[in-house]
Chain A
Amino acid sequence: MSRIVRVAAGQGFWGDWLDAPRRQVEGGPVDYLMLDYLAEVTMSILQKQKERDPRMGYARDFVGAMESVMTAVADRGVKVIANAGGVNPPACAEAVREVARARGVADRVRIGVVTGDDLLPRLDELLARGHPLANMDTGEPLGSVRDRVLSANAYIGSTPIVEALARGANVVVTGRSTDTALTMAPLRHEFGWGASDWNRLAAGIIAGHIIECGAQCSGGNCLYDWRDIPDLANVGYPIVEGSADGTFVVTKHPGTGGRVSVHTVAEQLVYEMGDPRSYITPDVIADFTTIRIEDVGQDRVRVFGIEGRAPTDKLKVSIAYRAGFKAVGTLVYSWPDALDKAKLADRVLRERMDRMGLRFDEILTEFVGASATHGPLAGTPGDLPEVQLRVGVRGQDRASVERFTRELAPLVLNGPPSVTGFAGGRPKVEEVVAYWPALVDKSVVTTKVEVLA
């Protein structure tokens, strides 16, 4: 039988199930544990934390995850790859080193640290050298929000992770690596795939796409047959069993809940998909129209046939900038005529704010229970038992948003009747940190790998 490399997903986003990493290393054999912590706006949150304390700026949950799997890493040779480094991979690595020291296993933990994705300190230099970093969606040049930029990170690929593994790292911590590279890199490393082995690299990327959202491919959030997906309380997170030829099987540990089938895998494959022929990554462009999937046993799906082609000469850059303030508040109106009461309350609220001269970039009212998620597609409801009035405002002036948050509670006594559900107090004013996707020439981004002995 040909050699299998097992890559297990233990975290689909920052905030995912804390037990999952430990369950993945204890539930059966795995070679690599892959932990994805970064979403589009996560980097800006981490940047704010780093500004307050230069030792912060990484996903703190990762330290707890490492505590829970350290025995497997030190004693059983499980390797960990995570983009938990955020905007401060060296500090993240140091925190992991502390865990290893406290456990007395520091001599058996070699931490690879990948840096070079952080472009914030280089932004003005890049703009001056003629890289416009224009918004990919709107075409606007970055200059228009430059003074409000909080973070800027290039999405980097598998190569620095492969290098760290080749130099003996058994824990690899990166910043803004692509989610998919975290899975593809160990397969590329183990099987020695070349940097232009497009079909196999694409297969590794698609393996990554399938498991990067954790249990979302193994029964979680699965619409098909959802009532009969077994034992979600004990859901098994996914594992890729990779082979040298680029084919792989998606599965989960025996005795866990959830399900791995062509239906659960297909739902994850189409998640956040754009043009399926061109799934662009720094390493390769994967063609989702070549993917073949088949059930090959209980909770086992074989994936094969994948083709890829050479990538572009650009990297995507994730930029976050301050974009004003927002707040969202709710009240619940009860039967009879719950929807009409909520609508009247909304009119009263808007008229009062208008008379006060409060101006916002946007005011959005939703009637949760009637039309908040499907809008007019939901049709005309009957006399609903209750409706939640949900009003949000967004604007540049913090004081105006603050004033809005004080206008909801009075409605309980001076607005329409049958209202409740205000126990949570005033809504919180949040700063809006918006996302600015851009492209930059690959040649200007240099990644660096350090392996801490």
Chain B
Amino acid sequence: MKVRLLDIAHARSGDKGDTANVGVIAVRPEWYPVIDRALTKERVAAHFRGVITGEVERFTLPNLAALNFLLHGALGGGGTLSLKTDAQGKVFSTAMLRMVIDVPDDEAMRLQLPAAP
């Protein structure tokens, strides 16, 4: 089943120099394993291809049902050097949540995941 990340997670992003951080939090703790499995470093790097110029780092916070990603080379130089509207990386959060993931039907049913429209 296709599931929109937007429907099962929320997120906040910010900046550190030219790096954006995106914290992704499962809306329900029991949905954390789904995002933990789907949001691999490779998947996130592919999602942001053409948007960032550097590497992706990935950290897990199972205690908060959250993942943290560092997207390097994301902010056009960062801080005051950047000419971008989103120089502080504030809306990389919702850019991440554009992702649509595949979840096996039985698991999606058991966890009551909302299907993508």
A→B interface (CB under 8 Å): 40-41, 137, 221, 223-224, 263, 266-277, 288-293, 305, 323, 326, 328, 362, 364, 366, 368, 372-377, 390, 392-394, 432-435, 437
Contacts and interface: CB of A to CB of B under 8 A. Distances in A.
Contacts, number: 128
B28 to A, nearest CB: 10
B12 interface: yes
Given A137-B18, A376-B50, A323 B81 contact: yes
Given A291-B63, A375-B50, A268 B12 contact: yes
Contact of B17 (A268, A293, A435): A435
A335 B49 CA distance: 30
19 contacts: A263-B27, A270-B23, A270-B64, A271-B14, A274-B16, A276-B61, A276-B68, A288-B64, A291-B61, A293-B64, A305-B63, A328-B83, A364-B83, A364-B84, A374-B98, A375-B50, A377-B95, A432-B81, A435-B17
B85 A326 contact: no
Interface of B: 10-18, 21, 23-25, 27, 47-48, 50-51, 59-66, 68, 70, 76-81, 83-86, 91, 93-95, 98
Nearest to A393: B83
A393 B84 CA distance: 10
A28 B84 CA distance: 41
A372 B66 contact: no
A359 to B, nearest CB: 16
A267 B83 CA distance: 27
A137 B12 CA distance: 23
B81 A394 contact: yes
B61 A288 contact: yes
B96 to A, nearest CB: 9
A68 B13 CA distance: 33
Given A267-B12, A272-B15, 9 more contacts: A41-B79, A137-B17, A137-B18, A223-B12, A267-B10, A269-B23, A273-B68, A377-B98, A432-B80
A102 to B, nearest CB: 37
Contacts of A263: 10, 25, 27
A40 B75 CA distance: 16
A267 B23 contact: yes
A272 B18 CA distance: 12
Nearest to A262: B64
Contacts of A392: 83-84
A238 B22 CA distance: 23
